[in-house]
Amino acid sequence: MPQDKARALATETDGAEGRYLSEALSDELVVEAVAGPLAEAAPNGKLEDVQVLMPFIHSPVGPEQMEAMPGLRFIATRSTGYDHVDLEAASERGIAVANVPAYGENTVAEHTFALILALSRKVHHAWLRTQRGEYTMEGLRGFDLYGKTLGVIGAGAIGLHVVRIAKGFGMKVLAYDVNRNQLLADVLDFSYADLDELLAESDIVSLHAPAIPATHHLINRETISKMKRGALLINTARGSLVDTAAVAEALDEGTLGGAGLDVFEGEEFMQHEDELLHQPDAEEKLKLLVRAHRLQRRPDVVITPHIGFNSEEALRRILDTTVENVRSFLAGEPRNLVG
């Protein structure tokens, strides 16, 4: 490795992503790209000379990981959310952290409606039936979105794209957000509401809030009890917003009519279940997995593997912003810093 170039590590990349980052930053860094998360990146502990880390959402970066990279100066997460990075630990060590603040507002919003339509028109059931060579319509009657009320929790960039799409379907839209912009509400023709009102009046509730302490288990037994009976719940934001056990109970009782989940608690463990027994807090992590598997088996739940962001266009924007974040930091003019 050239001695005049710092070493960078990118986790959770496919071959094309790794090549793109390596080529784009070849003048500044030597980039090593790995397919797995950070925990699998260096089985021999050879992370000492990593100065720039470009992780994705399933690579927790806390004190232990930072201690393994004593030369780490910059974390450029390839995501908008950064709850997988311990900002306090990074600050204590003088490590700057940047994110990708915008890349796929329309992309995630479109996937939100993919989940809504799958549930409202029972697309997943119809597909399975036709795969078996059956073409009956029994049990496949859905409902129109036109005239229904959509509740959007978190009216930021993604939430507002969801509002725009919903208006195209002829839906009424209520939005809950700590920050209100009445001009946008007037232009896009939606109404702000407090959380209880939104839950009580919405036929579909869609989550687009960040994962912060204040939103942890925002959807729980109490808030679900305030929802319109038979409403749908959609989550393309973060798994921690939803108490999975409470959702399963509500589906059993018919309080919820269905759920579309691109994210859920414990999703990061799904591909590494066998390793959980040897990890700290294994019991709690296994409980999350059991709850997730319980939801997977339900006919009124559609689960996708955190692919709301995963379009060609959005991925290119993520990579380009990450490259610019790294270049700006190395030039002494950091951008998109968080924390």
**Position 151 pLDDT exceeds 60:** yes
**Position 172 pLDDT exceeds 50:** yes
Per CATH, 6-103+312-330 and 105-303 having the same topology is answered yes
**Position 150 pLDDT exceeds 50:** yes
Nearest to 237 by CA among 149, 109, 56, 123: 109
Lowest pLDDT segment from 75-79, 163-167, 281-285, 316-320: 281-285
Per the annotation, the verdict on 333 as an active-site residue is no
Distance CA 133, CA 123 (A): 15
More confident residue, 167 or 276: 167
What is 105-303's CATH topology? Rossmann fold (3.40.50)
pTM of the model: 0.83
Distance CA 55, CA 37 (A): 8
**Position 278 pLDDT exceeds 70:** no
- pLDDT category, 339, cuts 50, 70, 90? confident
Q: What is the pLDDT of residue 44?
A: 47
Distance CA 43, CA 41 (A): 6
**Position 274 pLDDT exceeds 80:** no
Distance CA 197, CA 209 (A): 17
Encoding tokens for residue 206?
């869609």
Distance CA 50, CA 31 (A): 10
Q: What is the pLDDT of residue 1?
A: 42
Please state whether 170 falls in left (phi above 0), alpha (psi between -120 and 50) or beta: left
Amino acid at the residue 13: T
Element housing 150 (H / E): strand 149-153
Q: What is the pLDDT of residue 276?
A: 58
**Position 283 pLDDT exceeds 70:** no
Distance CA 224, CA 309 (A): 27
Which one of 7, 111, 238, 291 is the catalytic residue? 238
Residue 32 bridge partners (DSSP):
9
Polymer length of the chain:
339
What is 6-103+312-330's CATH topology? Rossmann fold (3.40.50)
Per the annotation, the verdict on 267 as an active-site residue is yes
Per the annotation, the verdict on 316 as an active-site residue is no
Mean pLDDT, the chain, whole residue set:
92
Domain ranges of the chain: 6-103+312-330, 105-303
Task: Provide the edge-to-edge strand list for the sheet that holds 231-235.
Answer: 191-192, 172-176, 149-153, 204-207, 231-235, 256-261, 301-303
Which one of 12, 267, 268, 291 is the catalytic residue? 267
Burial class of residue 111 in the structure, from the number of CB atoms within 10 Å of its CB (0-12 exposed, 13-18 middle, 19+ buried): buried
Q: State pLDDT tens for residues 86-114.
A: 999 999 999 999 999 988 899 999 999 99
Distance CA 158, CA 7 (A): 34
